[in-house]
Amino acid sequence: MKQKLVLGLLSLLILGILALIPFLIGYYSEKQDIITENICNPVEQHIEYGINCDSLRIERGVVRKNQSLSEILSFYDIGSDIIHQIASLSRPVFDVRKMKVGNPYTILFSKDTVPEILYFIYEEDEVSYITYRLKDQMKVEKSEKPLTREMSIASGTIKTSLWNSLVENGGDPALASEMSEVYAWTIDFFGIQKGDYYKVIYEDLKVEGKSIGVGKVLGACFHHSGSDLYAFRFTSNGETGYYDEKAQNLQRAFLKAPLRFKRISSKFSHGRMHPILKIRRPHLGVDYAADYGTPVQTIGDGTVIEKGWNKNGGGNYIKIKHNSAYTTLYMHLAGFAKGLKTGSRVHQGDVIGYVGSTGLSTGPHLDFRFFLNGQAVDPLKVESPPSEPVGKEYIEAFNQLRDSLKTALDTLSVVSRQSSVVSH
């Protein structure tokens, strides 16, 4: 009887254990899952210049006056043989003699009892940097930090100049230069008036979250002389340019002016009193007063047909033939662009010379002349022919882009700079 009781209790115990097995399996499986998840949790790494710096010590500095790569590395007890070797490896990548005062550098050390320099990184500019690997297999590489483009907006009213308006509204003054290029063929930015206003959508270039400059203008509206002049950046037939609301190219065959000038000191005239000769004689051009050495650009594509000295008072001069009808002349130059010669092919915006005061001249300026079919015409009154419009096969895509940008511009108040719309 007693034996039967023991067997019965043992059976109940076995059955109880068997009943608990599924629960125990589930419990330990669940615990195992949790443990595995904790083990596999990724640990955020400290990455700089594409290098994992978790196990490294970092030291930063800037290049001081008269300081060289050799001097910096020698300070950290890097031997002359290694310095010479690393400088040789650097030649095809970066000329170490061109390190600039004030540019930052970073040194990465091992965390050993006696730290060793593993990397020296020199920042050439806000984007490009040179990495010198000093241990194991020495190596020199040039790399770039990731560059992001954020779509930003700006607007303002002109009181004195576009540049001043942008500064007053907290914008980047470099945007003035970009806008002047967009409207170079349609607006004379030295002739904009008080009360003119602008709205612009542009790229704000950023590296590691820090703004480093202005990229391309994507769309703009400039209210000038009572009219709204729109510009939309678009690629048609493989060429990227700016087009108006009707898909017409804003670029013209000729720029409005061949340089950034201070003022027009003398206009086109058939009977101007010559400031030196003190006699009345024709002045068949426009004098643009500018600082000595100001770059002079060709207003359009063409070929240099004359270059030299004008014996009639023009001093150093260049003559460019643009096509069968148009020719331009640039006089009183201080000098010519390097490599420019008769027969050279030039493109719109190329620097061809520099403002001077050679020949019969009372001060630095450019005497600019324009010829149509061999006859001198007033450069300020020349109607420049337009370039190619958006191709028919691209019209639908252009219209979609234009409509979205125009809506954004039209709803933008003319007040102050705003930014950071979309990254792309």
Per-residue model confidence as pLDDT tens digits over 78-125 = 889 999 999 999 999 999 999 999 999 999 998 888 888 999 999 999
Please tell me the predicted confidence (pLDDT) of residue 2.
Answer: 46
Q: Are residues 174 and 215 in the same domain?
A: yes
CATH of the domain at 155: 3.10.450.350
Pairing of strands 345-346, 365-372: unpaired
Asked if the structure places residue 14 within a domain, the reply is no
Q: Are residues 375 and 270 in the same domain?
A: yes
The proportion of the chain whose per-residue pLDDT surpasses 70, expressed as a percent, equals: 84
Measured distance CA(85)–CA(116) in Å, rounded: 18
R_g of the chain, CA atoms, integer Å:
35
Angle made by CA atoms 128, 134, 138, in degrees to the nearest 5: 90
Q: Are residues 273 and 376 in the same domain?
A: yes
Asked if the structure places residue 333 within a domain, the reply is yes
What SS3 class is residue 227?
strand
Please tell me the predicted confidence (pLDDT) of residue 406.
Answer: 95
Asked if the structure places residue 19 within a domain, the reply is no
Q: Are residues 302 and 234 in the same domain?
A: no
Other beta carbons within 10 angstroms of residue 170's beta carbon come to 12
Q: Are residues 300 and 234 in the same domain?
A: no
> Hey, CA dihedral for 167, 169, 175, 177, is it positive or negative?
negative
Measured distance CA(201)–CA(203) in Å, rounded: 7
Last residue of one domain, picked from the residues 127, 144, 161: 144
- For the record, the structure tokens of 200 come out as 């612009």
| Number of residues in the chain | 424
- For the record, the structure tokens of 34 come out as 């949790």
Q: Which residue has tokens 């970066």?
A: 94
CATH of the domain at 337: 2.70.70.10
Measured distance CA(250)–CA(344) in Å, rounded: 27
Measured distance CA(319)–CA(382) in Å, rounded: 18
Q: Are residues 175 and 207 in the same domain?
A: yes
Measured distance CA(415)–CA(400) in Å, rounded: 27
Other beta carbons within 10 angstroms of residue 188's beta carbon come to 13
Q: Are residues 376 and 270 in the same domain?
A: yes
List, as one string, the DSSP characters of 230-251: EEEEEEETTEEEEE-TTS-BS-
Q: With a threshold of 0.75, does the pTM exceed it?
A: no
What SS3 class is residue 405?
helix
- For the record, the structure tokens of 156 come out as 């303002």
Asked if the structure places residue 6 within a domain, the reply is no
pLDDT tens track of the chain, all 424 residues? 444 444 454 455 445 544 544 544 444 344 334 333 444 455 567 888 988 888 899 999 999 999 999 999 999 888 899 999 999 999 999 999 999 999 999 999 988 888 889 999 999 999 999 999 998 889 999 999 999 999 999 999 998 888 888 888 888 888 988 888 888 778 877 678 888 999 999 999 999 888 898 999 999 999 998 899 999 999 988 888 999 999 999 987 888 889 988 788 788 775 555 555 555 657 788 899 999 999 999 999 889 999 999 988 889 999 999 887 889 999 999 999 999 999 999 999 999 999 999 998 888 999 999 998 888 999 888 877 778 899 999 999 999 999 999 999 999 888 644 444 444 4
Asked if the structure places residue 128 within a domain, the reply is yes
Asked if the structure places residue 167 within a domain, the reply is yes
Q: Are residues 140 and 152 in the same domain?
A: no
Q: Are residues 269 and 374 in the same domain?
A: yes
Helical residues (DSSP H) of 43-153, grouped into ranges: 69-75, 80-90
Last residue of one domain, picked from the residues 144, 175, 190: 144
Q: Are residues 322 and 348 in the same domain?
A: yes
Asked if the structure places residue 16 within a domain, the reply is no
DSSP state of 253: S
DSSP state of 50: T
Cα distances from 168 to residues 156, 157, 181, 382, in angstroms, run 9, 10, 21, 35
If we measure between CA atoms, which residue out of 187, 142, 140 comes closest to residue 162? 187
Q: Structurally, how many domains does the chain consist of?
A: 3
Amino acid at 202: Y
Q: Are residues 270 and 331 in the same domain?
A: yes
If we measure between CA atoms, which residue out of 144, 44, 55 comes closest to residue 94? 144
- 136 is in which domain, residue-wise? 47-144
First to last CA, the chain: 87
Helical residues (DSSP H) of 183-307, grouped into ranges: none
- For the record, the structure tokens of 87 come out as 């400088």
8 Å CB contact between 155 and 169 = yes
Angle made by CA atoms 412, 413, 416, in degrees to the nearest 5: 105
Last residue of one domain, picked from the residues 124, 144, 164: 144
Residue 376, Cβ density class (10 Å: 0-12 exposed, 13-18 middle, ≥19 buried): middle
Asked if the structure places residue 181 within a domain, the reply is yes
Q: Are residues 71 and 103 in the same domain?
A: yes
